[in-house]
Amino acid sequence: MLLTAATACSDKESELGLNLVDPATLYNGKTATFYTNEAYSLFDDSLRTSNYSFGIIGNLDDPLYGKVSSVLYSQIGLASGMSSINFDEVTIDSVVLTFVINELYPDTSGVYNFRFEVMQLAEQVQTDTIYYSSDTLPVDPSKVFFNDVVAVGAHDTLVSLKLSPDIKEVLSQTGESEEFIAATKGLRIRIVETSDEGMMSINFAALQTCMSAYYHYGEDTNSYHYDFLVGSGAAHFTHFSHDYTGTAFGAAQIAGGTNLFLTPLAGYNVHLSFDNALQSFRRDHPLAVIHYAELLMPVSSDVTSLPMPDQIVVNRCTDSTDTYIDDYIDAYTYHGYDGKYDSERGLYRARITEHFQNILREGRDPGMTLVLNSRRSSARYTKLLGSSDPNPVRIEIVYTE
């Protein structure tokens, strides 16, 4: 059920809006508040996950949100700038797969006993293919390169997995880059569900995230190493799977009267529309100039003690696909937008002045989609107050006419 509330506008001269604006920009303007006529949580069934700089692996079982797992698929790429490889005269002594840890969740200060599993793929990760969160690739059951428990704690910046000797045969290739990738196929890397529950976020772009082969030549006693690319620089993607059994989730849409849910890893986004309030304001104030507009997104008190997502991104709905609003694109130029959590006020806030002026000029609100900026690489979630709450999601503006 979609709930509607009318806009509340104040036409008197006021300084109420001054706390909304940048300190250097003061407007002795009028203020108005806009409430949604559409607000609901929307299941994200088409999240692209290929070739991002950050990723995540692991498993969680939340009594409210259900179970979620994340698995990494990646090519083994040649070292940066190398177009071919020649390991004909090389003896590989050992191979170590290393990841730079970006975050552990949900206990960001705890220690996890993760059972990592690394297997060779039966089909290669394609360089020219876009992969989504629902995609998977088969593995070769005979090629298990790692299956063991590793303790990972908050003070660890790296996790290193010494792979089995079987990987040496896979890497002992000579040829062009494309031939090497086709021959090695790639890896599936995951944390097995029978180990500790938890998620490990990975920085793929870090130089230390790689597969290092240590080797020597013939009777040469010197040791050398070659860093193959895994993650950034090699085609890769993550697969997210959810099990909502026994929860209130799983439907394509969840009404947003009480709460609006923003969950990561191809979970739920939030759809908002202020069209009724916008059109009413436009009829009453056809010459209005918007000096400041702020989207306020109060957070439910039962999640404020959790680690909060870093940022909410506001997208404009279109007929084909959602696009960033202008304020988000121009944020670094004009030092605007934000979209981050304000712990003192218990809400996320985003400056949307350009976007609001645009839709006011067009005469309609096509709708907004709220998404978590880190939804592909962090398991942090949040819950916003819905449209029937006394402190709902809303837009507050300062304008003159």
pLDDT in tens, 208-228: 999 999 999 988 889 999 999
**Number of structural domains in the chain:** 2
Is 238 in the same domain as 265?
A: no
Is 95 in the same domain as 132?
A: yes
Please spell the DSSP secondary structure of 24-69, one letter per residue.
T-----EEEEEE-SEEEEEE----B-TT-SEEEEEEEEETTTEEEE
Give yes or no for a contact between 317 and 272, defined as CB atoms under 8 angstroms apart: no
Does any domain span residue 305? yes
pLDDT of amino acid 276: 97
pLDDT of amino acid 16: 41
Give yes or no for a contact between 396 and 20, defined as CB atoms under 8 angstroms apart: yes
pLDDT of amino acid 63: 86
Does any domain span residue 1? no
Exposed, middle or buried by CB within 10 Å (0-12, 13-18, 19+), for 324?
middle
pLDDT of amino acid 263: 96
pLDDT of amino acid 6: 39
Q: What is the pTM of this model?
A: 0.90
pLDDT tens, residue order, the chain (401 aa)? 333 333 344 343 334 444 544 433 555 789 999 999 999 999 998 999 999 999 999 999 998 899 999 999 999 999 988 999 998 889 999 999 999 999 999 999 999 999 999 999 999 999 999 999 999 999 999 999 999 999 999 999 999 999 999 999 999 999 999 999 999 999 999 999 999 999 999 999 999 999 999 999 988 889 999 999 998 889 999 999 999 999 999 999 999 999 999 999 999 999 999 999 999 999 999 999 999 999 999 999 999 999 999 999 999 998 777 899 988 888 766 667 899 999 999 999 999 999 999 999 999 999 999 999 999 999 999 999 999 999 999 999 999 98
Is 326 in the same domain as 183?
A: no
Is 176 in the same domain as 147?
A: yes
- Domain that includes residue 219, residue range: 54-243
Does any domain span residue 3? no
pLDDT of amino acid 27: 59
Q: Which of 243, 277, 300 is the last residue of a domain?
A: 243
Is 354 in the same domain as 371?
A: yes
Cα 134 from chain centre: 15
